[in-house]
Amino acid sequence: MLTLGVETSCDETSCAVLVGRHKILSNVVSSSLFRHQPFGGVVPEIASRHCLEQIDFVFAQALKAARVKAGDLGLVAVTEGPGLIGSLLVGVAFAKALAYDLEIPLVGVNHLEAHLAANFIGADEPSSYIGLIVSGGHTSLTHHEHGKVTLLGETVDDAAGEAFDKTAKILGLGYPGGPVIEKLAREGNPAAVPFTKPKQKNRFDFSFSGIKTAVLYLVRGHKGNGCLPKRFKADLCASFQKAVVSWLVEKSVEACRYTKARDIVVGGGVSANSYFRQKLAEAGAPEGVKVWFPPLSLTSDNAAMIARRGLDLYEICRERFETVPYSFDLTGNPNLRIA
């Protein structure tokens, strides 16, 4: 069966065609990133207008690249939330109209679950695992067992990606912060600044707002002519990245010990970070834990992961309820949670 994925939760507009569970025929993404860069972060009104302008074209391109026609599609899967309401509504309205017109099933997908599902295109989902979401808006640790999801911890303030973005802004490095911090960190000394690990009541919760403030004070306290030397910035980037990654790694491995899970599945934009990939793999190996990262092409927001998760939901619905999902009462849910 061919599944169309539709993703418009934030600043990307994406449509993808998936055949079966494991083969992507097309995955077209139109980003409005360049429109937000002058503002140092995503402007919701600009993001939703971009989605509205792009959705028809992106859909047509996805069909063309997959060499299929709309009538060949068997299922539509669309991001229901979380995200920006204006952007979400564009995708949901588009998907509903299309599924209605084609008389095919429609499923709403949780964007965070889809980030994890990006790992399951090309490999089957393990029956039990720790899910680690590290995106621009969310950071959470979940335990997945035979489809049941339990929240172990989440951030109490900023998300991991948000911490990269805000720190980059303080250092005058532009938006988004993750890739530029990763690049500059390669030239810096990760031991230059020993950032303090924040303490949480729940040992699986995260906090990233303190480290951003610590960077702000270091920048303010820097004696110079107002211009930060490259060496100083590189050392801060390397130390910041080392600290954030070590907290993510420690808690994920600890969550595996606690739940006896043998797999850690990572999803979200920060999973593109190669230092993080290396450190988590190194920490998992001696514990006998397999670490899953999506291919780089599927780390940021895309519709292939939505299609993959949507197909799972469709199959669950057919198996358990012997029916197919027609979610025509679906609407955007900006605060949708993973558990």
Question: Binding segment for ligand KG4 among 116-124, 171-179, 199-207, 214-222 (CB under 6 A)?
Answer: 171-179
Q: In what order do the strands lie in the sheet with 128-134?
A: 148-154, 139-145, 128-134, 263-267, 290-292
Q: Is 135 exposed, middle or buried (0-12, 13-18, 19+ CB in 10 A)?
A: buried
Residue 35 and residue 9: Cα distance in Å, rounded? 16
- Residue 113 engages ligand KG4 in binding (rule: CB under 6 A): no
Q: Are strands 2-7 and 148-154 parallel, antiparallel or unpaired?
A: unpaired
Stretch that binds Zn ion, among 177-185, 198-206, 211-219, 295-303 (CB under 5 A): 295-303
> Would you count residue 12 as binding Zn ion (CB under 5 A)?
no
Q: Quote the least distance from Cβ 164 to ligand KG4, whole Å.
A: 4
In sequence order, the β-bridge partners of residue 26 are 17
* Closest CB to ligand KG4 among residues 104, 303: 303
The two structure tokens encoding residue 33: 């990133």
332 belongs to the binding site for ligand KG4 (CB under 6 A): no
Q: Is 285 exposed, middle or buried (0-12, 13-18, 19+ CB in 10 A)?
A: exposed
273 binds ligand KG4 (CB under 6 A): yes
Looking at the Cβ atoms of 159 and 236, the one nearer to Zn ion is 159
128-157 residues in contact with ligand KG4 (CB under 6 A) are: 135-137
6, 118, 272, 298: residue in contact with ligand KG4 (rule CB under 6 A): 272
The label of the residue with tokens 């937000």 reads 36
Among 162, 165, 235, 301, binds Zn ion (CB under 5 A): 301
Q: Closer CB to ligand KG4, residue 36 or residue 259?
A: 36
Q: Which of residues 124-143 bind Zn ion (CB under 5 A)?
A: 135
Look at residue 339 and give its three-state secondary structure: coil
Give me the residue label for tokens 């960077």: 215
What is the separation, in whole angstroms, between the first and last Cα of the chain?
Answer: 29
Q: How many residues bind Zn ion (CB under 5 A)?
A: 2
Residues engaged in binding Zn ion (CB under 5 A)? 135, 301
